[in-house]
Amino acid sequence: MKMSRRAKRMQRNHKRNAAKSVLNLTALMDIFTILVFFLMMNQNDSEIQSNDAIQLPKSIAANELKDTVRILVTKDDLLVQGRPIAKMGDIAKIEGEIIPALKKELDYLATRSPLPFELKEEGRPITIMGDKDTPYSVLKRIMETCAKAEFNNISLAVSQKGEAS
């Protein structure tokens, strides 16, 4: 059977165009890379990181941990958002109720995100995660410093021990 000119032309075009249909993965890899970085930067890390340096006090509190600025008080260090700010030995030597290194760091964090006027009275939220053996005088000084830096909405992190009887 003889092919028409149109059929021959279509067959040639199909052969010519079939070789050019190559999948370009560069754009797809760029999209996945951007997606991975976006998800890494915007992950919600409101779970308490496991830390063997502190043992949280037990409580029957039912509130969930919110994503706030976190102060971690270990036996040796004072950390804000995972960054060491001061040694506990140095805090004991400082005169007065305010811890200057902590105040400086909290003021810096406060300037990074301005507080809306409606929330001025309530204050900025902050969570203090302290070892259960941390002296109350140290916790009191930390809370006083937080209040001076306009972090008035203070929460203390605890481990849940079960249902109330």
pLDDT digits (tens, 9 = 90+) for 55-89: 565 655 555 556 688 888 888 888 888 888 888 88
For residues 134 and 86, state if they share a domain.
yes
Residue 47 DSSP code: S
In this structure, is residue 165 part of a structural domain? no
In this structure, is residue 139 part of a structural domain? yes
Angle at 36 between CA 30 and CA 39, to 5 degrees: 140
For residues 153 and 76, state if they share a domain.
yes
In this structure, is residue 50 part of a structural domain? no
In this structure, is residue 143 part of a structural domain? yes
For residues 77 and 130, state if they share a domain.
yes
pLDDT score for 37: 87
DSSP reduced 3-state for 149: coil
For residues 35 and 75, state if they share a domain.
no
Q: Mean pLDDT over all residues of the chain?
A: 79
Determine the Cα–Cα distance for residues 133 and 141; give it in Å rounded to an integer.
15
In this structure, is residue 106 part of a structural domain? yes
For residues 80 and 33, state if they share a domain.
no
pLDDT score for 53: 60
For residues 64 and 25, state if they share a domain.
no
Helices assigned H by DSSP within 26-159: 26-41, 88-93, 100-112, 136-148
Residues of the chain falling short of pLDDT 70: 19-22, 43-67, 159-165
For residues 106 and 33, state if they share a domain.
no
pLDDT score for 59: 56
| Residue 29 one-letter amino acid | M
Instruction: Please choose, from the candidates 151, 49, 53, the residue with its C-alpha nearest in 3D space to the C-alpha of residue 99.
Output: 151
Q: How many domains does the chain have?
A: 2
pLDDT score for 163: 54
Domain of residue 23 covers 5-41
Determine the Cα–Cα distance for residues 133 and 42; give it in Å rounded to an integer.
34
Determine the Cα–Cα distance for residues 101 and 91; give it in Å rounded to an integer.
9
Q: 130 near 54, Cβ under 8 Å?
A: yes
Torsion of Cα atoms, 98 then 103 then 104 then 108, to 10°: -170
For residues 30 and 68, state if they share a domain.
no
pLDDT score for 6: 92
DSSP reduced 3-state for 63: coil
For residues 19 and 74, state if they share a domain.
no
